[in-house]
Chain A
């Protein structure tokens, strides 16, 4: 099942690659059609997923026995939402790429390969396999930015590649080191996550390994001060690239911290709580502050990503039920809202070929539907109650208040700042009278574009109104993470930190 999920996009990519380049008109529609297959599979997975701890639909095949590496896949409440999100956004991103005029075929192929890599990274439960996917993703993304990007695309794509490769290189060394520790302790070599969790490490080694993993994921997230590649990559990337980068690729960082750092290095994770929490909060405030002054709409959304992803990391390292659940659900929320915002900016750019906020004004009058969607996503991103962002940020803040009260209070400023930069941007772009000639003739959203945005908007509303749909599936898995930490260290989640406490403390969130 999961094997099919990972291979379906890869097979689709091969199918598209085999169609002659002359038939340029069929590549994109066929790509979209084929990317519905993984979406169907992911939807089915979500439907049949039992809210239990542990991995479901597990696949465990030997890859190369002497090295102890395996094709080990599984999905739990932490990875399931990411799988569904990925499957959902790829067809949407492809659908938003009709303005790609050169080398459509390669574009579709790379996007589908990217999807295969992302799926693989989210369901891999073998560190070797995870690393393969984690690193392999760089190649299609590198081409997507580098070939179809903007003016400074080459600089941005190489910066993106080298930055992320640097982090993952040290992680590879740490993975080898972990496997070595396992081998010397148990006599057999294995790279399986479940096995490596059993390893006992001395404090120094564990901290080094934690640092190597954390660096790889922190660059990916990206956490301040490792974020400098992100605005470049986002601004230069084509719309589909930006959407997938923000919505899914960056989540590999937050997902990795939650899945691997907490599970493999519980002791070091507990020790690192103040450091990681502080870095996260600096990112929240810094990202928001920089977003306020951005003259470029796309860059503004990019920096808002830095800010919002800080919440996810804060929630992760709060080490409470609320924090972890909030982190996972915020992974989805951020993917939906930021993905949608990048789509919207891309649609605007297709019409007007500029992203500078100053070039717009009064668009509400000429493009009411567009403005409506933009405002809706803005509200979701700010965390307006009733929409999805509220659920996630609320859980994160409540959850982290239990363990990191000062940081939680500072972080809540980030919510206020988000309201400032997003609403101010909305005001400048949309309100007032359209004073520039070019803006008066802009066409409102087409049915195709509405079709792309509507599913996201519906999910935003559903998660906002009925968060239990997701939280019920996430909860058992995040509880299992906490159980693992509590059983392997002295750490005890303070009251009210575990699930029952949070529900009573947080009302009916």
Chain B
């Protein structure tokens, strides 16, 4: 029997994760091992997957150098193995590892459901990883759904917690609605171009004059709306604060981080490669979403009294900044921003989870009073991460913002940059509010013990924030090679 000629390497990292998810479930059924064993299996799969991603990276670099880029397309052009996909995948893997490590207390406390939780996390990452590497809009949708559905379940994993249930249902309803809109957009784009692959659409729009661009424009618009939900860009952000607040603390950072990476990576790939030759008459939509997200996110974050809701609204503002990068055609800027922000987000939520406690659902800002005394590690890390999110110089956040702002200006959107810098200043205010409470107000509450794994996660997040901020070339040089085909 002859097997078809399949480029297994293109999906090997994803296969490793999916296999591990299956193994975890089977092992749990058969041997009911301790949570630690399951965690080690998950960690092992992440290591294997990362290793395979590195192999992919080398392979892709060789292929680009040798001019044989056709080797980077697999499964009849369904999957791409370009630098863009591999970088996105790597970012997802890092966020996943950090997410599991920082939420380990939560997973451990799940008891028999720990296997489910870990398997869902690995499956979600698999889905999103396919999403960032797919060249075909249907494939992209499949990845999106695999990832999203796993996230819906994860949000409600603690069935006993009413707030988590509410968050999960809200997330599910809004998210499936958004997915439907996305599919409809894909259908309209197909109707207008007779193409489903991203590169094919790009070629088509680059070489033909489209008779009736209206259908395609509406299709693009719906795709933007659908993905806009996933990345919580205003005005499609309404689910985010409730989900961030209601979902189990140990999982929110992961959930928010991967959704942002995958959603924006897909959006940027579609908008900047598939329809980049199309006349950019939808630019006002992108710019409008960016302005709305930046201002609404920053201003609403100011009035939150719950740290998780505040981080949700700050995430809306960050979506706006990244959209500024899309308007500026800044592929490398967006990738850098996503990597930087996702790492900061997971780190920040690791602190939130530690402060709230493994089962605690409250993350009211008053819990952070005098944190610098109760746990200097948590307070110091959160301060660096928040300053990074605020985009202060010498942190990676500044470089990220600078990158997308500069590209936006260089592409003629000066006013968008002016709005963006002003929104950044508003954002300073709410990040500082938390710092104030941690450092400048005292409280006699008991010290907080920080689990070892959380320390590691925080150490990595803080170091990454500082190193990429002081020596931006360390990541920017990699990102510069991570361009889509």
Contacts and interface: CB of A to CB of B under 8 A. Distances in A.
Question: Are A and B bound to each other?
Answer: yes
Interface of A: 63-67, 128, 131-133, 135-136, 138-139, 142-143, 146-147, 153-154, 157-158, 161-162, 165-166, 169-170, 172-173, 176-177, 179-180, 183
Interface string B394-405: 100010001101
B392 A180 contact: no
B410 A180 contact: yes
Contacts of B393: 131-133, 135-136
13 contacts: A133-B393, A136-B392, A136-B393, A138-B392, A139-B392, A147-B440, A165-B425, A166-B425, A169-B421, A173-B421, A180-B406, A180-B409, A183-B410
Contact of B398 (A67, A132, A133, A158): A132
Nearest to B474: A64
B268 interface: no
Nearest to B419: A173
B36 to A, nearest CB: 33
B428 A165 contact: yes
Contacts of B398: 132, 135
B266 interface: no
Interface string B422-442: 101100110010001001110
A484 B72 CA distance: 55
Given A170-B418, A180-B410, A64 B473 contact: yes
B365 to A, nearest CB: 14
B417 A173 contact: yes
A67 B418 contact: no
B387 interface: yes
A176 B402 CA distance: 8
B406 A176 contact: yes
A220 to B, nearest CB: 15
B476 A176 contact: no
A146 B387 contact: no
A158 B436 contact: yes
Given A128-B402, A162-B428, A180-B409, 18 more contacts: A63-B472, A64-B472, A65-B473, A131-B393, A132-B393, A132-B398, A146-B436, A154-B441, A157-B440, A158-B429, A161-B428, A166-B422, A166-B425, A170-B418, A173-B409, A173-B417, A176-B417, A179-B406
B62 interface: no
Nearest to B433: A158
- What are the nearest 4 A-B pairs in CB distance? A132-B393, A169-B421, A64-B473, A135-B393
Given A139-B392, A173-B417, A154 B440 contact: yes
A445 B172 CA distance: 71
Nearest to B423: A169
A147 B429 contact: no
Contacts, number: 80
B473 A63 contact: yes
Contacts of A131: 393
A138 B414 CA distance: 26
Contacts of A177: 409, 414
Contacts of B472: 63-64
Nearest to A137: B393
B9 interface: no
B17 to A, nearest CB: 34
A154 B433 CA distance: 9
A131 B393 CA distance: 8
A66 B476 contact: yes
Contacts of A135: 392-393, 398
B480 interface: yes
A226 B405 CA distance: 27
Given A147-B440, A165-B425, A172-B421, A132 B394 contact: yes
Contacts of A166: 422, 425
A176 B409 contact: yes
A141 to B, nearest CB: 12
B468 to A, nearest CB: 11
Contacts of B436: 146, 154, 157-158
B476 A153 contact: no
Contacts of B421: 169-170, 172-173
A65 B471 CA distance: 12
Contacts of A173: 405, 409, 414, 417-418, 421
A208 to B, nearest CB: 9
Contacts of B425: 162, 165-166, 169
A128 B472 CA distance: 13
B406 A153 contact: no
Contacts of B439: 143, 146-147
A324 to B, nearest CB: 29
A102 to B, nearest CB: 10
A192 to B, nearest CB: 15
A173 B418 CA distance: 6
A172 B414 CA distance: 12
Nearest to B412: A180
Most buried by B among A146, A147, A169: A169
A287 to B, nearest CB: 26
B463 to A, nearest CB: 14
A302 B185 CA distance: 61
Contact of B480 (A66, A179, A180): A66
Nearest to A155: B436
B420 to A, nearest CB: 8
Nearest to A62: B473
A189 B480 CA distance: 16
Contacts of B480: 66
Contacts of B476: 64, 66-67
A355 B472 CA distance: 47
A209 to B, nearest CB: 11
A162 B429 contact: yes
A147 B370 CA distance: 11
Nearest to B401: A172
B228 to A, nearest CB: 26
Contacts of A162: 425, 428-429, 432
B405 A176 contact: yes
A165 B430 CA distance: 13
Contacts of A67: 403, 406, 476
Nearest to A212: B418
A127 to B, nearest CB: 12
Contact of A146 (B403, B405, B440): B440
Contact of B432 (A128, A158, A180): A158
Contacts of A136: 392-394
A438 B440 CA distance: 31
Contacts of A169: 421-422, 424-425
